Amino acid sequence: MNKDQEYLERYTGELEGLLLRLAQEEGLLAGKQFLETEDLTELYLDVVKPYLGDAVPDFEQYPLVSLGWIAFVGMALAVQWDADWEHYGALGGEQLYLQLRQPRGWDELDEYVTQEVLGLEAGGEEERRYTDFLRRAAEQTYSALMHEQAEPSSPLAFRLYTQSLYVLYRLGVSLGLAFLGYRYERTTLPN
């Protein structure tokens, strides 16, 4: 493993730990790791490609939106995975992302996910809880990203940004699965 890869893995691991602790403090996640599915983890690269086309131009003026919206995408995909992955999974990451963004546009992707996909009441307590938490998670991620002091527009800055998106996506998937009642349970094998 080269030095850059070790550095990125350290950054990713530390950010994941920070966001997991925040979610635990908020009572949104339990356990020592994110909930995840192989299907959704593997889908990330196909989802993030079209996402970057919307997110990168917004980063300078709206960094929290640029970072945070991917967590809403992860939550929505977890709900779709649970509902009918045979159908949704066949669409592919780009199409799934576009189906989430297009109904209300990029600026209201968060509200579309919370209201239409998760079925939360507009302006209700649960919608505010998730929205406020993901704003806080995006703030912490932005702070971690800026703390690295990578030269703007450099290859390293872009890699740190995409690693940040990956962690936020996985956080969103985990929140979506927890919202649906999934959790890790310890089991023992019979003798």
| 72, 134 contact by CB (below 8 A) | yes
The residue with tokens 């550095």 is 7
Q: How far apart are CA 21 and CA 56, in angstroms?
A: 27
The residue with tokens 């995840």 is 36
Q: Is the pLDDT of residue 186 over 70?
A: no
Domain ranges of the chain: 3-179
Q: What secondary structure does DSSP assign to 18-73, as a single string?
A: HHHHHHHHTTS--SSS----HHHHHHHHHHHHHHHHHHHHHTTT-HHHHHHHHHHH
Rounded to an integer, the average pLDDT of 156-185 is 94
Q: Is the pLDDT of residue 189 over 70?
A: no
The residue with tokens 């079925």 is 119
The identity of residue 91, as a single letter, is L
In this structure, the number of other CB atoms found within 10 A of the CB of residue 13 comes to 11
User: Mean pLDDT over all residues of the chain?
Assistant: 94
pTM: 0.94
Q: How far apart are CA 98 and CA 87, in angstroms?
A: 16
| 88, 95 contact by CB (below 8 A) | no
Residue with the bigger pLDDT between 92 and 31: it is 92
